[in-house]
A and B are shown apart, each in its own frame.
Chain A
Amino acid sequence: MTEDENGVRAIGAYAPRHRLPASEVEAAWGSVQASGVGRKAVPGADEDALTMAAAAATNALHADGTDASAVGVLALATTTPPLEEEDLSVRLGSMLGVPESARHEAYGASTRAGTRALAAGFDADLATDEVALVVAADCPKGEPAGERDQAAGAGAAAFVLVDGGPAVALARGSFVRPTPGTRFRERGTERVEGLGVTSYDRAAFTETLAGAVANLDAGADEDDRGAPDGAEGLGDVDAAAVQAPDGAMPYRATDALGVDADAIQRVATVHDLGDTGAASPLLGLAKALADPDVERALVAGYGSGAGADAFVVDVDGAVPASLALDREDERELSYAQYLRLRDEVVSDPPSGGGAYVSVPSWRRTLPERHRLVAGRCEHCGALAFPPEGACGDCGSLDGYEDVQLPGTGTVEAATTISQGGAPPEFALQQQRDGDFDVVVVAFDAPQGDDTVSAPAQLTDVDAGDVSVGDDVVATGRRIYSQEGVTRYGFKVRPARDR
């Protein structure tokens, strides 16, 4: 193994549970503009690129059996950050428990961000026992009448890389070619546009990818590893994870990439999840690495501008995976529900005053909100949440030892908040996603039989489906937005799949 290159040791992925079938798009618009997208994933009202990134990363760390404290490099790629300016890799790190001394990097600007972040993971300079965590998450939007929105999906992929990891990049290549206007998002809008010059767009895509493959270079170790240089030898890849702005475009690049359509289809997610932007080629790689029959995969990332990256990844040994893409709690949307969820038809936030939690006071509680950090009373050993003030059991003011809860728990009290009954902070969410359940949960301790209670909102479940005694598990979500600042914290969902 080389001294400067890491390999993937575990993978995670995530997709929201909501799916919009193409038949709903057709019923709404009379025809479907987006090719090859049979259905697509849609984020919940409390989800965004950051929460999806956190979910995929949590799955990857769980598959690896690694605690986030081992992360030395965290790379987040997204073209749909919830904020245009602010480094969201830092909040992602907080949600996961990545040490503040770790390198935090954010990639954006084009859908190529995913493969740029992956390159950073392969190149990361890691200390012994350190891991690199690469996460790509995206949930693009477009004009609802157009092909981009009809293709626009949602998903996230995450990779744990270490020195000596079993899936390594044998060869890499990159290429750029100035090609404005194929896909862009103007300042101040959430909607991706393109001029729609068909032949120009296709040429930008295929020729830039072809350039990246032609530049594949195994570097100094070429002879040792029998890696392909340029496009030669690529015909024997088992899978090709190719950027998929829609369900047809990747197959137009078979000649350019030197792969057959079956290799692309084998690991494609676009037909089920839609255009996942920066996460698209990484989701394909995740599927390839989770497939025990794939020994060599091509990863081909493309971003408008235009630029492309290609990796030849060889797998030697099993790569543990936790891919929450096919969900048993899947919910099929009508087009009207889709517009509600996408925030197209809801009203402005209600005005008011009253209860208010400032951002500085919210920040004080980030360990509790992001990672369920409770406390064990230093006097009597009882658990407390939040861990501050006098112990609820013994009244001691001795303080607390931090205890990170595993997030599993049991419902102790439950209700459903009906339409119009939500506090104003949640009124918009309720307009978008409907009634919601609120519970008191007895969260399990990491060891032992004791529990500690906290209030939480249910997510990823229909209202009224949860009752006292049910098992739930915590998941990071958007809680509410105020003064332009979205506050992230934990909700809970039924303990079914992970």
Chain B
Amino acid sequence: MRDAYIVGAGQSDFGSFPEESYRSLFATAYEHATESIDGDLDPGMVDEAVLGTLGVGGRQIGLSGPAVTEHVGLHGVPTTRVENACAASGYAVRQAVQAVKSGMADLVLAGGYEVMTDASGDATRWWLGVSGETEWERLSGTTFAGVYAQMASAHVDEHGTDPDAMSHVAVKNHAHGAKNPHAQLGFECTLEDARDAPVVADPLTLYHCCPTTDGAAAVLVASEDVAADLSDDPVRVAGVGAASDAVGLFQRDTYAGVPASAMAAERAYDRAGVDPNAVTDAVDFAEVHDCFAIAELMAYADLGFCAPEEAGAFVADGRSDYGGDVVVNSSGGLKSKGHPIGATGAGQVVEAFKQLRGDAGDRQVADAERGLTHNVGGSGGAAVVHVLERATEVSAR
């Protein structure tokens, strides 16, 4: 199979933008992605578009993908909308990579968009629940915060995790997001801020939960045949892995981890040639799915950074920060950067693209050669992991 490269990536600001629409947000992301292309991009070169969105608010449940691509002038380009809840655009990127590697396409636009902040709190809570297991889990009275709080209770029970570790995740990710001009909550917080914030679902406080966000992200995936024409410094997709699992937490083998994440990582590492026992030696940074702080702690073990019982210390000791084993969520993560559901996975790839090209500004990870993105749908019904690396030269294998 052919190699796939990311030749352009961009995002809108993440935040609350009453004056924007899902199409205008995506247009901004697309514009930034095309601006990051070093060569000349003719819209006619785009063979395919794969876009992720949950469709919060219901504004255009059907055919929102074509509505977006037509809006940005990609007239006639076959567009597919991907829905895998919060992992929608992580999967969209994966679909783009598959199309390129298979030889069906040379240049594919992948991305995602979501508008979440223009509805009442009640309506938003309706929508936030639609990706939980609807008939049983939701109707026991949980929202996502509740389900992740249940996972936190299991993590504390099984691994003796100090709940304070979740506050450390918040402090770290806010410190990173404060350096990201696109971040929604781009301010720093203290351990006390996080620990003493109002409880949303015990033991999760407000600072352990990501916000609701408007935003869009776009990524251009090219084949080895055209990548060099479009980019002087493309990013190679070294490996992709994805997995799904039961949608309801109660239907899974463990509550203190996300089995789909571990399966997706194992597959991505296998394809990328990353030793699963030495992941932090192989990757310099990771954008992980921290919709709730406990999710980042679980990801440390699911992605092979450390054992589950070490997850709390891994963040508290700075091993997931600059100067540690692996910089986790240099963008600020979902917590600080924001979580526009359908745009999040592609947004992670945007950050990885910037880091690997040395374009990450104040939050640049030194000598970043390889990184990964980790995107989870719901509480773990879907997960996708990309291993991305600097490409010194584009070559056919």
**Residues of chain A whose beta carbon lies under 8 Å from any beta carbon of chain B:** 350-357, 361-362, 365, 385-386, 392, 412-418, 420-427, 436, 438-440, 453-457, 464, 467-469, 479-480, 487, 489
Name 17 interchain pairs, CB-CB below 8 A, sorted by A: A351-B122, A353-B127, A355-B129, A355-B130, A365-B135, A386-B135, A417-B143, A418-B201, A420-B121, A421-B200, A421-B201, A425-B141, A440-B250, A455-B133, A455-B250, A457-B140, A468-B153
* Complex Cα gap A480–B141 (Å): 9
Whether A423 contacts B143 by the Cβ 8 Å rule is: yes
Q: A352-B123, A413-B150, A413-B153 are in contact. List 17 more A-B contacts (CB 8 A).
A: A352-B126, A353-B123, A354-B129, A362-B135, A414-B153, A415-B150, A415-B204, A421-B143, A422-B143, A423-B126, A424-B125, A424-B126, A439-B150, A453-B251, A468-B157, A479-B139, A489-B139
Whether B127 contacts A354 by the Cβ 8 Å rule is: yes
Please give the distance in Å from B289's CB to the nearest CB on chain A. 19
| B62 / chain A contacts, CB cutoff of 8 Å | none
| A464 / chain B contacts, CB cutoff of 8 Å | 202
**Residues of chain B whose beta carbon lies under 8 Å from any beta carbon of chain A:** 58, 120-123, 125-127, 129-130, 132-143, 145-146, 149-154, 156-157, 198-204, 246, 248-251, 255
Which of A412, A414, A418, A440 has the largest number of chain B CB atoms within 10 A? A440
| B129 / chain A contacts, CB cutoff of 8 Å | 354-355, 423
| A352 / chain B contacts, CB cutoff of 8 Å | 122-123, 125-127
Given A357-B134, A454-B136, verify A417-B142 contact (CB < 8 Å).
yes
* Complex Cα gap A352–B124 (Å): 8
Given A355-B129, A439-B150, A440-B250, verify A418-B141 contact (CB < 8 Å).
no
| A426 / chain B contacts, CB cutoff of 8 Å | 141
Which of A355, A455, A457, A467 has the largest number of chain B CB atoms within 10 A? A455
Given A418-B198, A424-B126, verify A438-B140 contact (CB < 8 Å).
yes
The closest CB in chain A to the CB of B131 belongs to A355
* Complex Cα gap A453–B157 (Å): 17
* Complex Cα gap A440–B127 (Å): 22
Whether B134 contacts A392 by the Cβ 8 Å rule is: no
Please give the distance in Å from B118's CB to the nearest CB on chain A. 14
Instruction: Label chain A's interface by main secondary structure.
Output: mixed
Whether A361 contacts B135 by the Cβ 8 Å rule is: yes
| B136 / chain A contacts, CB cutoff of 8 Å | 386, 454-455
* Complex Cα gap A370–B253 (Å): 26
| B150 / chain A contacts, CB cutoff of 8 Å | 413-415, 438-440
Which of B141, B202, B250 has the largest number of chain A CB atoms within 10 A? B141
* Complex Cα gap A354–B143 (Å): 13
Given A425-B139, A440-B250, A464-B202, verify A413-B151 contact (CB < 8 Å).
yes
Whether B154 contacts A468 by the Cβ 8 Å rule is: yes
Given A455-B250, A468-B153, verify A353-B126 contact (CB < 8 Å).
yes
Whether B202 contacts A415 by the Cβ 8 Å rule is: yes
Please give the distance in Å from B126's CB to the nearest CB on chain A. 3
| B133 / chain A contacts, CB cutoff of 8 Å | 455
| A354 / chain B contacts, CB cutoff of 8 Å | 123, 126-127, 129-130
Given A355-B134, A438-B150, A468-B157, verify A422-B141 contact (CB < 8 Å).
yes
* Complex Cα gap A88–B322 (Å): 64
Please give the distance in Å from A418's CB to the nearest CB on chain B. 5
* Complex Cα gap A213–B94 (Å): 82
* Complex Cα gap A480–B129 (Å): 15
The 7 closest A-B CB pairs, nearest first, are: A354-B126, A352-B126, A415-B149, A350-B122, A413-B150, A455-B140, A416-B202
The closest CB in chain B to the CB of A491 belongs to B140
Whether A427 contacts B202 by the Cβ 8 Å rule is: no
The closest CB in chain B to the CB of A439 belongs to B150
| B123 / chain A contacts, CB cutoff of 8 Å | 351-354
* Complex Cα gap A456–B135 (Å): 12
* Complex Cα gap A264–B326 (Å): 77
| A436 / chain B contacts, CB cutoff of 8 Å | 141
| A425 / chain B contacts, CB cutoff of 8 Å | 138-139, 141
Whether B255 contacts A413 by the Cβ 8 Å rule is: yes
| A356 / chain B contacts, CB cutoff of 8 Å | 134
Please give the distance in Å from B15's CB to the nearest CB on chain A. 22
The closest CB in chain B to the CB of A414 belongs to B153
Given A355-B134, A386-B136, A455-B140, verify A469-B126 contact (CB < 8 Å).
no
Whether A418 contacts B138 by the Cβ 8 Å rule is: no
Whether A353 contacts B138 by the Cβ 8 Å rule is: no
| B203 / chain A contacts, CB cutoff of 8 Å | 415
Please give the distance in Å from A464's CB to the nearest CB on chain B. 6
Please give the distance in Å from A276's CB to the nearest CB on chain B. 29
The closest CB in chain B to the CB of A426 belongs to B141
Please give the distance in Å from B274's CB to the nearest CB on chain A. 29
The closest CB in chain A to the CB of B198 belongs to A418
The closest CB in chain B to the CB of A423 belongs to B129
* Complex Cα gap A335–B143 (Å): 31
Please give the distance in Å from A388's CB to the nearest CB on chain B. 10
| A440 / chain B contacts, CB cutoff of 8 Å | 150, 249-250, 255
* Complex Cα gap A90–B286 (Å): 57
* Complex Cα gap A416–B203 (Å): 8
The closest CB in chain A to the CB of B127 belongs to A354
| A439 / chain B contacts, CB cutoff of 8 Å | 140, 150
Whether A353 contacts B58 by the Cβ 8 Å rule is: yes
The closest CB in chain B to the CB of A456 belongs to B140
Which of B127, B154, B250 has the largest number of chain A CB atoms within 10 A? B250
Whether B139 contacts A480 by the Cβ 8 Å rule is: yes
Whether B126 contacts A355 by the Cβ 8 Å rule is: yes
* Complex Cα gap A439–B151 (Å): 10
The closest CB in chain B to the CB of A390 belongs to B246
Whether A457 contacts B249 by the Cβ 8 Å rule is: no
* Complex Cα gap A269–B254 (Å): 48
Whether A455 contacts B142 by the Cβ 8 Å rule is: yes
| B202 / chain A contacts, CB cutoff of 8 Å | 415-416, 418, 464
Whether B249 contacts A413 by the Cβ 8 Å rule is: yes
The closest CB in chain A to the CB of B143 belongs to A423
Whether B201 contacts A417 by the Cβ 8 Å rule is: yes
Whether A357 contacts B122 by the Cβ 8 Å rule is: no
Given A422-B143, A455-B249, verify A416-B122 contact (CB < 8 Å).
no
Please give the distance in Å from B295's CB to the nearest CB on chain A. 14
The closest CB in chain A to the CB of B134 belongs to A355
Whether A427 contacts B153 by the Cβ 8 Å rule is: no
Please give the distance in Å from B211's CB to the nearest CB on chain A. 14
Given A355-B134, A440-B150, A469-B157, verify A423-B250 contact (CB < 8 Å).
no
The closest CB in chain A to the CB of B246 belongs to A392
Please give the distance in Å from A422's CB to the nearest CB on chain B. 6
Whether A423 contacts B141 by the Cβ 8 Å rule is: yes
Whether A438 contacts B198 by the Cβ 8 Å rule is: no
| B250 / chain A contacts, CB cutoff of 8 Å | 385, 440, 453-455
Whether B255 contacts A424 by the Cβ 8 Å rule is: no
| A365 / chain B contacts, CB cutoff of 8 Å | 135
| A456 / chain B contacts, CB cutoff of 8 Å | 140
Whether B153 contacts A423 by the Cβ 8 Å rule is: no
| A385 / chain B contacts, CB cutoff of 8 Å | 250
Given A417-B201, A469-B157, verify A457-B141 contact (CB < 8 Å).
yes
